[in-house]
């Protein structure tokens, strides 16, 4: 077989569909977020980033950076191996306590990313609970889908954010069969939010465990940043709350928070935990500083909400179509992969604005979009520049507007 030709033709078909992904070559600058330098064949230009998942700019927060510097100087660079072989770094132990406290759970368990926490956490539970059936929301993230798949359990997909369909499907499985309901709080592409209380009520009625991915909510919702489950007073009802340290907390890593026995069980059986080097202590220290800060401080959350509201209002005034939702995520709908990429390219090349196009398979075909995530650090001028750039491109391409 001509392997190279195989790879090239696969890439060519992505290009033909307008789905080939080009990553902007960006240099972030601590202290200047959301500005970054973009390296391109034409040189280096300042750009404004409008699609970062460092939602609150915690990736440049002085307390986070200081904690990381101090940890490197104290403990060195890496963790020195897997926790099974090399033991715990004390920082990991402290961070797990911090996370358990954040969600009001007995324990927490760290992973190297949110993806791994879902893949390994959910996968291990689904694989080891005898004959477990997993009920998975139709909108679930790839990390949960992959975890469920590798567990080889029986999977049933319920209609997105639909407790009635979940109830119907749970009723079809015998009462004594172990059941696990997996869903998210804030769905990152539409920015809609799950009815956690109703889903928990249905799960409880059928004796099912619940597993909630709060990746796009931790740090952002709830008085202490404990996510939508905290904001709605539902955290105690969830069997497992999963989160990331890489988005609003601005560092990297993932975790589950649950009962002591459940976390200990996953720690003892999950290959995605056991056989991989632990997070560097500096990463854990940075994440801990970020979580502690956002447990106390509302400033970042309030400022972000203000920015989000302002972007929505300016988009409305310009008649630019965006999905209405109760979260911090603003999807500007385009509905065509090639156009979406074209708009993103023009924003970058002509206006020094970086918004990555979101195409299939991340979202269904025909719902291609620009996903805008305003941060506390986007100024009024940044917002005017973004909206006027979009408006100009909308006019040039002749895209439809909506009534204000």
Ligand X SMILES: *Cc1c(COP(=O)(O)O)cnc(C)c1O
Give the nearer residue to ligand X in terms of CB position, either 215 or 389: 215
Q: Check binding of 215 to ligand X (CB under 6 A).
A: yes
Q: Check binding of 244 to ligand X (CB under 6 A).
A: yes
The residue range among 38-46, 87-95, 108-116, 229-237 that interacts with ligand X, by the rule CB under 6 A, is 108-116
The residue range among 107-115, 299-307, 319-327, 353-361 that interacts with ligand X, by the rule CB under 6 A, is 107-115
The residue range among 14-22, 27-35, 190-198, 210-218 that interacts with ligand X, by the rule CB under 6 A, is 210-218
Q: Check binding of 191 to ligand X (CB under 6 A).
A: no
Q: Check binding of 163 to ligand X (CB under 6 A).
A: no
Neighbours of 403 (CB within 10 A): 5
Binding mask 119-158 for ligand X (x = CB under 6 A): ----------------------x-x---------------
d(CA 382, CA 379): 5
Q: Check binding of 113 to ligand X (CB under 6 A).
A: yes
Instruction: Yes or no: say if 384 and 392 are a contact pair by the CB < 8 Å rule.
Output: no
- Angle at 246 (CA atoms; ends 115, 307), nearest 5 degrees: 125
Instruction: Yes or no: say if 250 and 61 are a contact pair by the CB < 8 Å rule.
Output: yes
Residue 247: active-site member: yes
d(CA 108, CA 370): 35
Give the nearer residue to ligand X in terms of CB position, either 187 or 394: 187
* Helix segments in 45-195, DSSP class H: 62-75, 83-86, 90-103, 114-116, 123-128, 142-151, 163-171
Q: Using CB under 6 A, pick the residue from 54, 137, 165, 184 that binds ligand X.
A: 184
Q: At closest approach, how far in Å is the CB of 232 from ligand X?
A: 18
d(CA 44, CA 27): 10
Q: Check binding of 165 to ligand X (CB under 6 A).
A: no
The residue range among 32-40, 145-153, 209-217, 332-340 that interacts with ligand X, by the rule CB under 6 A, is 209-217
Give the nearer residue to ligand X in terms of CB position, either 107 or 144: 144
d(CA 258, CA 121): 11
d(CA 11, CA 13): 5
User: What stretch of H or E contains 295?
Assistant: helix 281-296
Q: At closest approach, how far in Å is the CB of 173 from ligand X?
A: 25
Q: Check binding of 213 to ligand X (CB under 6 A).
A: yes
**Cα–chain-centroid distance for residue 101?**
21
Of all residues in the shown chain, the one whose CB is closest to ligand X is: 114
CA distances from 258 to 18, 44, 101, 116, 117 (A): 42, 47, 11, 16, 13
Helix 281-296 and helix 90-103: axis angle, to 10°?
30
Give the nearer residue to ligand X in terms of CB position, either 200 or 245: 245
Give the nearer residue to ligand X in terms of CB position, either 115 or 221: 115
Which residue is catalytic, options 105, 179, 247, 341? 247
Q: Check binding of 246 to ligand X (CB under 6 A).
A: yes
Q: Quick one: tokens of 234?
A: 């539902």
Instruction: Yes or no: say if 373 and 356 are a contact pair by the CB < 8 Å rule.
Output: no
Q: Check binding of 118 to ligand X (CB under 6 A).
A: yes
* Chain residues that interact with ligand X, rule: CB under 6 A: 113-115, 118, 141, 143, 184, 188, 213, 215-216, 244, 246, 254
Instruction: Give the residue numbers annotated as catalytic, written as ranges.
Output: 247
């Amino acid at each position: 077989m001509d392997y190279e030709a195989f790879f090239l033709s696969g890439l060519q078909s992505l290009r033909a569909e307008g789905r080939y992904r080009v990553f902007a070559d960006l240099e972030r600058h601590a202290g200047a977020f959301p500005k970054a330098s973009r390296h391109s064949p034409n040189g280096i230009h300042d750009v404004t980033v409008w699609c970062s998942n460092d939602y609150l700019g915690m990736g440049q927060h002085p307390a986070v950076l200081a904690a990381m510097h101090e940890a490197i100087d104290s403990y060195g660079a890496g963790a020195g191996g897997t926790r099974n072989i090399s033991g715990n770094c004390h920082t990991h132990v402290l961070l797990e306590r911090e996370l358990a406290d954040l969600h009001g759970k007995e324990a927490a368990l760290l992973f190297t990313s949110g993806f791994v926490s879902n893949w390994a956490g959910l996968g291990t539970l689904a694989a080891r609970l005898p004959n477990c059936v997993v009920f998975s929301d139709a909108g679930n993230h790839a990390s949960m889908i992959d975890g469920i798949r590798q567990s080889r359990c029986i999977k049933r997909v319920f209609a997105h954010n639909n407790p009635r369909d979940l109830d119907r499907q749970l009723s079809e499985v015998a009462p004594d069969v172990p059941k696990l309901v997996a869903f998210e709080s804030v769905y990152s592409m539409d920015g809609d939010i799950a009815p956690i209380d109703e889903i928990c009520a249905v799960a409880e009625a059928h004796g099912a465990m619940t597993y909630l991915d709060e990746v796009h909510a931790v740090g952002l919702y709830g008085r202490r940043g404990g996510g939508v489950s905290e904001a709605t007073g539902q955290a105690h009802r969830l069997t497992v709350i999963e989160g990331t340290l890489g988005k609003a907390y601005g560092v990297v890593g993932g975790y589950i928070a649950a009962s002591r026995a459940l976390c200990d069980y996953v720690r003892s059986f999950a290959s995605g935990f056991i056989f991989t080097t632990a997070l560097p202590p500096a990463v854990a220290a940075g994440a801990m500083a970020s979580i502690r800060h956002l447990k106390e401080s509302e400033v970042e959350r309030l400022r972000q909400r203000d920015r989000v509201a302002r972007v929505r209002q300016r988009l409305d005034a310009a008649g630019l179509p965006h999905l209405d939702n109760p979260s911090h995520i603003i999807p500007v709908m385009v509905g065509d992969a090639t156009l979406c990429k074209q708009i993103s390219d023009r924003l970058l090349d002509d206006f020094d604005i970086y918004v990555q196009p979101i195409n299939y398979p991340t979202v269904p075909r025909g719902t291609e979009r620009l996903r805008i995530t305003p941060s506390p650090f986007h100024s009024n001028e940044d917002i005017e520049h973004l909206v006027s750039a979009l408006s100009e491109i909308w006019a040039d391409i002749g895209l439809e507007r909506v009534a204000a």
